[in-house]
Structure 1
Amino acid sequence: MERLEGYFSQWVIKYRGWIIAVSLLVLLAAGNGLQYLGFDNDYRAFFTDDNPELLAYDKVENTYTKSDNVFILIEPKTGDVFQPEVLKLLEELTTSAWQTPHSRRVDSLQNFQNTYAEDDDLVVESLYEEAEDLLAADIETVKQVGLSDPLLLKRLVSADGRVTALNITIEYPKVDADKELKDVVSSTRDMVAKFEKAYPNVNFYITGIAFLNNAFVEAGENDLSLLVPVSLLLMVIIMFVLLRSISAVFGITLIVIFSDVIALGLGGYAGVKLTPASISSAQMIMVLAVANSVHLLVTFMYGLQHKVPKQEALLESIRINLQPIFLTSATTMIGFLCLNFSESPPFNDLGNLVAAGVFVSFCLSLTFLPAMMSYLPVRVKAGEDIAVERLASLSKFVIRYQNIILLVSAVVVFIAAYAATLNKPEEQFLKYFDESVEFRGDSDFANQSVGGLFQISFSLPAEGKGGISDPQYLEHLALFAQWLKEQPEIINTYVLSDTLRRLNKNMHGDDPAWYKLPESREMAAQYLLLYEMSLPYGLDLNNQVNIDKSATLLVVGVEEMSNVELLDFEQRVQQWMQDHLPASMQAKGSGSILIFAHLTDKNIKGMLSGSILALVLISMILVFALRSIKVGVLSLVPNLVPVIIGFGLWGLFYVEVNMALAAVVSMTLGIVVDDTVHFLSKYLRAKREKGYSTEESITYAFTHVGKALTISTLILSAGFGVLMLSPFALNSDMATLTTWIIMIALVVDLLLLPILLLKLDKEKT
């Protein structure tokens, strides 16, 4: 191994000119792929194409009206919505909303198709028109309908009447998804801005699926345009302060930029579409690319400080660091590649892109970086580094108080392990966004006022064509809707049986006693036909009834729930269906919140398998590379302890674990093992090459790698720490927990690992 290391280091210096030239050519070729790196603006990007819950959801959407929408809320600053000025505003807004690009339907209190009897005729018309001419009695009628009709109350009108909403159903042609979404968002914002100016006494809020997708886009763009440059700048500052060498900082910065450009360029060639969850790969690659370079340059500069000639110092640095840099790169790549066990494609892309970036940085840090440094002037003050003296003192402290430190460590790990059990796998996709994000604030307001922003749909089949008019089917439909209304999680229901009750009452002179379902199939079918023929264009029953009238869609608005609560609710619904509905009528629930709930559950299970595989592979590599089963197995402790403590802290402070945090175990296993590998590499080199005792080898490891470990940890923490500022919770939560684990790993490697070596590796090599 030593001969191979020596040969490789000499090869790098001998062909340094060619290495630089080839590296630049690879950069240009791979960088060309950046133009193909797209951005996916659809929340469906979190699901695979064959995801069963997504397929069921798409089937419902293809049968009925699409769920893509814009939801605008209106709140007068004083009074309720039932006043002339607000009703006039709503009428004008309803008319303008039809001009929204790709709009297919507009629903509001104003154009709600109210029905009533006039002699023997059924009248179907908008609830009101020409608001400026409404009399007090007319407004009272509007108020009475708005606060009583189940198709309006807690859907488009709040229970207290202080908020009303307008829903625009969007159907994209899907020719240019990015442009289509931007057109909808910009058009809506421009429209609302005009009304805000015209009606200063009214507050407006915008949410809906279109703005959810746009929030994903803006979160990703914000991270890429702001956090990545800030992260790079902060890392450069830290490197300069700690390394005190412009040439060294310049060399590392080139490695960082090259690694990012090449990895993302290759991703572009591979057809990767970035999402807010995978766009953080750019920052992670930068952060991880620094670590390899730092270890090589710290060893190089250590040689210069001891008056070793520049070329010899470079050769020795490459020789000493070849194995540990290879091991740390391999283990980091394994950790990130195991993200492919995630059920969510963005996390697959994140793992693959970062793994590619780590491989590129491994190659460049051992070839391009020393080749560049051989040409660059490097000024280093000769003499012993004060940091080395402090690390030697720390080594003596650890050796002297090893029993006390071991006892305290055991207590901390035990407490952390218990605290880690407090974590609960919970997902609330609205909380993916920080409260500073406008979409989050508007959506929270919508859910608290009108309610029902979170919906679950049930497509309930009937017996054959026209079967939805069968009285028995309608009775079961009404029974199911009534049971749902009684559940504590339900805010509102949207069901055909309520419409038929109203029509039956209308056709009997609006007698309240006839507010019940039609008694015969023929009567129900006639009512529906008469009602449909009276509906204006764009407000048909396609959002509730399929084409051949063999199924209807029941939609329930639910409270915001975690994925665990949602899955429990779904199970309760399915059990009730089995007990009370005929087998032909039973159906699974569908909706964006449900598919995310199932995704989180599957993702956590998948990442558990990925983490176990990562741990096994990393352990096998360490045992083989370090040529010691004892040391390889022993290395598991400092790799697992930081993860246990990190999740313990999370259990104490946050509790909720989303699908991004499920990926942290695999990811951080690959990162924190770096410190362990570098420490053990220097420790074993001292034992095997220099014949040192265990205590002397530990001190050697402290003084020869302790500074590099500290610098790389600070840089990694700073890089991930900046990502904590992301308004996208999947990124900020993942960065927070990862930063904690990385910092804890340094403490464990400098305190606990040496003690384990003292206790378990006493024999002399």
Structure 2
Amino acid sequence: MLVLYLPMKKLLSIGFWELIARIILRNRILIISIVTLITILLASQWKNIIFTQTEANLIPADDKVNVDYNNFLDKFGEEGNLIVIATKDPKLFTPKVFKAWSEMMSTISKHKEVDLVISVDNLKVLTKNDSLEKFALKNLVDKSKVEKQNYLNQIKSELLNNLPFYEGLLFNKKTGSIRSAIYLDKKIVNTKARKEYVLNSLIPEIEKFENETKIDLRASGMPYIRTLNAKTIIDEIGLFIGAALLITGLIFFIFFRSFRATLISLIIVIIGVMWSFGLLGLLGYEVTVLTALVPTLVIVIGIPNCIFLINKYHQEFAKHANKAKALQRVITKTGTATFMTNLTTAFGFATFIGTNNDLLIEFGIVSSIAIMCIYLLCVFIIPIFFSFISSPLNRHLLHLNRDYLNSFMKWIVNTVKYKKVEVYSVAVVLLIVGLIGIHKIKISGSILEDMPKKTSFFNDILFFEKEFNGVLPLEIMIDTKRKKGVMKLSTLKRMDELEETITDIPELSKPLSVVSLIKYSKQAYYNNNPEFFELPTAQEQSFILSYAKNATQNSKENLMKSYVDSTGQYARITTFIKDENGKNMEAIEEQIRAKANKLFPSPRYEVIITGKPSVFQKGTKYLLDNLVSSLILAFLLTGGLVAIMFRSFKMVIVSIVPNLLPLIMTAGLMGFLNIPLKPSTILVFGIAFGLSVDDTLRFLAQYRLELSRNEWKIKKSVFATFDDAGISMFYTSIVLFFGFSVFMLSSFGGTVALGGLVALTLFFGMLSNLVLLPSLVLSLNRTLANEQEFIKPTIDILEPTDEEVDAIEKKD
């Protein structure tokens, strides 16, 4: 820090910004050309933009949770390759509808992206072939007879009553729901090909069936959910950008009543949006539910920069009516202040880089770079634009003295001046209420929690949760530590006992594994009598297991390959879990783990419990564990900047407290309103703190300037600060409030919560910085006004006086 001291102080001096102002105003065409060139170059990177094809992985790659999950994928491939299509309509087993169903499934099975389709119309049943001593797969349905209603009734009865192996996979015996299982090629599950198949092939086939039969189908499964979820993210990017431009532009115009000022501000943020997309393409980052927010953040953060600079330009012009002088002094006087406030905002977003999570690291990098880019665009383009157009008219300056602003600021000043005790009392009460609310906060580790709940595919998820106990796979992998160890009868019995525990857990579906296949083998051996759907005895195992081992090896028909690896050493048990906010996931895993440890003791066996829901839930917990450290990092970074600027530890405390209280209030409100802590809402605190602290720095910088102007009279300086800093704080806070409220238009619950909570926190932050901060300054005025500690800062962030600027100009 000491090494950077002199260069930083020199770079942020009045003389430096005077030089920058001259360079900008004397090289206008060159700068416009450079901005245009950069915009074209970054626009050329749009072709490299990648839209995410997977869920967010919130855990570091080297964490044991990810290591276990990847070990499972190495043995059995991508587990999220199942799409299910279902209906509860009894008309399915009528000739016309069944024919349409069969045609749909036949068409789907022919697509190159599909590995296997298991459906009633093409269902295979095991039959015993005594001469070859093996089981053969025979079609359940004779397609030459499906035109007869009696035959279809017979098939339905056979399916529901005599094929327990398929219960939970293809039908719900209690409700009569029927579904088909479509297994995609595992190689395309995490690629663009999956998206194209679902949107361009699968969904049209489903819609065609529905139009022909007037029967509503339900579709789900991880590939289907991922695709439509990603499509919604993409669709909402345009919605956010359009709404943000409209709302912030409207607020800007209401403040300034100037079409040209509004126009240039919108042009600047649109260029910033183009740059942010270009950054995503240039860095090769995927567009995720987080990085999709960056273009809108550029608008929301860029407009306040425009407000601050244009407001200062109008203030300067109102003093002396000299346009050139006003434009130069906008840069000279506000250069350090705007740089440092944007830097603190960028630091707030950059704290996500320290989470050791790729999703948040990418969001932190792109957002922090984009914030500094929009700052530079504002500093360069606004003076150049106003240098080319005519001077402001009187009506353009009316916003400097509006009645509603004067009334608001008068109320703030009176509150600080006469009601400090009440201010502290309210702050303490809000602090206590917030802390109480924090204890009520719940944690959500749900993959589905943030998905758009108003969409049809989310309703389909609820259907499958009710009828088939969910669509989210929970995987259990058992390593027997020896080849062909899975097919030992002792291992199968242990697995069967573990599956009984899984079946007894209400949130889990009936498990699928090689155990069910062996049970089905015994049933087939005894002429498909469902009473024999059980594991073979010691006496039966030799010939029944030999029949099973000799089953066809055709990759399309071999059911065993999905649940036992090629060496026979690893077994897989798959169950599906109801989402239920992920609140019971940890308890469920502990229950399964306790039973597994008893049945498969270490080191003889190794049992891994994994799957997308499990990884996501653990990722949420990991993120929460890092929340405090990320916030502490944000506090330290901000405190460090304040310490560098003011050389005062007391100033650090004064700057942190007014911004910490709104965070506690918001967290408490989340507890009272039952808004859970989840990946999206965790981001609220870092983002809001980074933005809110800007007002603090702006107020303190102006306060120190007023001290020098008012002969170190504390009260007079504090209240004089409101005349300048108070208005800009109000303007920018209002824009940020409504700007982040745009995210509440989203159909994603997490994005709605993020936008609403950040907007609310910033509103609390504005009031805290306008009321609590000056109250603290007044209460601690004796020590804060110490010349040695406060008046001679390391970095001069405050706006220089006219006399100081005049001296620099004359010197140059």
Q: TM-score, normalised by structure 2?
A: 0.87
Of residues 139, 142, 148, the one that matches 1:126 is 139
Within 1, Cα distance between the matches of 2:65 and 2:19? Answer: 56
- CA deviation profile, 1:170-226 (whole Å, cap 9, x unmatched): 1155599324421333201111122112211x2112212222221232122112222
1:746: which partner in 2?
766
1:69: which partner in 2?
81
Whether 1:191 and 2:205 are equivalent positions in the alignment is yes
- Output the aligned Cα RMSD: 2.8
1:51: Cα distance to partner? 5.5
1:280 partner letter: L
Name the stretch that deviates more: 106-115 or 732-741. 106-115
Of residues 286, 289, 303, the one that matches 1:273 is 286
Change (3 A) 1:645 1:269: same
Change (3 A) 1:495 1:30: closer
CA contact (8 A) 1:342 1:603 kept: yes
SS in 2 for 1:351: helix
1:411: which partner in 2?
429
- CA deviation profile, 1:663-698 (whole Å, cap 9, x unmatched): 222222111111111111111110124435222222
1:53: which partner in 2?
65
2:258 partner letter: S
1:66: Cα distance to partner? 3.9
CA contact (8 A) 1:37 1:268 kept: yes
1:712: which partner in 2?
732
Change (3 A) 1:317 1:729: same
- CA deviation profile, 1:465-495 (whole Å, cap 9, x unmatched): 3322211111111111112212232221112
Change (3 A) 1:44 1:639: closer
1:37: which partner in 2?
49
Within 1, Cα distance between the matches of 2:621 and 2:529? Answer: 50
Whether 1:675 and 2:695 are equivalent positions in the alignment is yes
Q: TM-score, normalised by structure 1?
A: 0.92
Whether 1:260 and 2:273 are equivalent positions in the alignment is yes
Within 2, Cα distance between the matches of 1:175 and 1:565? Answer: 28
1:358 partner letter: I
1:376: Cα distance to partner? 2.4
Of residues 12, 18, 40, the one that matches 1:28 is 40
Within 2, Cα distance between the matches of 1:198 and 1:623? Answer: 72
1:3: Cα distance to partner? 4.5
Change (3 A) 1:502 1:152: closer
1:645: which partner in 2?
665
CA contact (8 A) 1:492 1:558 kept: no
CA contact (8 A) 1:396 1:699 kept: no
Name the stretch that deviates more: 594-603 or 263-272. 263-272
SS in 1 for 2:117: strand
2:31: which partner in 1?
19
1:171: which partner in 2?
185
2:708: which partner in 1?
688
1:467: which partner in 2?
485
Name the stretch that deviates more: 171-180 or 389-398. 171-180
2:644: which partner in 1?
624
Change (3 A) 1:118 1:366: closer
Q: Percent identity?
A: 17
CA contact (8 A) 2:79 2:473 kept: no
* Counterpart mapping for 1:243-254 below 5 A: 243-254=256-267
Within 2, Cα distance between the matches of 1:175 and 1:92? Answer: 24
CA contact (8 A) 2:707 2:713 kept: yes
Within 1, Cα distance between the matches of 2:750 and 2:354? Answer: 17
1:91: which partner in 2?
102
Whether 1:389 and 2:401 are equivalent positions in the alignment is no
1:22: Cα distance to partner? 3.2
SS in 2 for 1:491: coil
1:613: which partner in 2?
633
Within 2, Cα distance between the matches of 1:298 and 1:511? Answer: 85
Of residues 657, 660, 663, the one that matches 2:680 is 660
Within 2, Cα distance between the matches of 1:539 and 1:443? Answer: 29
Within 1, Cα distance between the matches of 2:567 and 2:557? Answer: 18
SS in 2 for 1:468: coil
Q: How many residues align?
A: 762
1:280: Cα distance to partner? 0.7
Name the stretch that deviates more: 562-571 or 749-758. 562-571
Change (3 A) 1:536 1:40: closer
Give the unaligned 5+ runs of structure 1.
Answer: none
Within 2, Cα distance between the matches of 1:413 and 1:331? Answer: 25
1:74: Cα distance to partner? 3.2
- CA deviation profile, 1:20-42 (whole Å, cap 9, x unmatched): 34333333333333332222222
Of residues 103, 113, 116, the one that matches 2:114 is 103
CA contact (8 A) 1:185 1:211 kept: no
CA contact (8 A) 1:570 1:589 kept: yes
SS in 2 for 1:613: helix
Whether 1:732 and 2:752 are equivalent positions in the alignment is yes
Name the stretch that deviates more: 512-521 or 206-215. 512-521
1:38 partner letter: I
1:756: which partner in 2?
776
1:99: Cα distance to partner? 2.0
Within 2, Cα distance between the matches of 1:513 and 1:33? Answer: 64
Within 2, Cα distance between the matches of 1:559 and 1:574? Answer: 18
Within 2, Cα distance between the matches of 1:257 and 1:738? Answer: 23
SS in 2 for 1:545: coil
Within 2, Cα distance between the matches of 1:150 and 1:176? Answer: 33
Change (3 A) 1:219 1:46: farther
* Counterpart mapping for 1:126-525 below 5 A: 126-130=139-143, 132-133=146-147, 136=150, 139-140=153-154, 142-146=156-160, 149-171=163-185, 173-174=187-188, 177-200=191-214, 202-377=215-390, 378-381=392-395, 385-387=401-403, 389-394=406-411, 395-462=413-480, 464-509=482-527, 514-520=532-538, 522-525=542-545
Within 2, Cα distance between the matches of 1:6 and 1:65? Answer: 62
Change (3 A) 1:25 1:203: closer
CA contact (8 A) 1:68 1:208 kept: yes
Whether 1:598 and 2:611 are equivalent positions in the alignment is no
Within 2, Cα distance between the matches of 1:493 and 1:618? Answer: 52
Change (3 A) 1:700 1:761: same
Within 1, Cα distance between the matches of 2:129 and 2:27? Answer: 95
Change (3 A) 1:100 1:717: farther
1:555: which partner in 2?
574
CA contact (8 A) 1:252 1:293 kept: yes
Change (3 A) 1:106 1:48: farther
2:799: which partner in 1?
none
Change (3 A) 1:44 1:611: closer
Change (3 A) 1:701 1:317: farther
SS in 2 for 1:656: coil
Within 2, Cα distance between the matches of 1:515 and 1:615? Answer: 63
Change (3 A) 1:571 1:176: closer
Within 1, Cα distance between the matches of 2:528 and 2:190? Answer: 49
Within 1, Cα distance between the matches of 2:137 and 2:245? Answer: 63
1:4: Cα distance to partner? 4.3
2:113 partner letter: H
Name the stretch that deviates more: 281-290 or 496-505. 496-505
Whether 1:582 and 2:601 are equivalent positions in the alignment is yes
CA contact (8 A) 1:154 1:452 kept: no
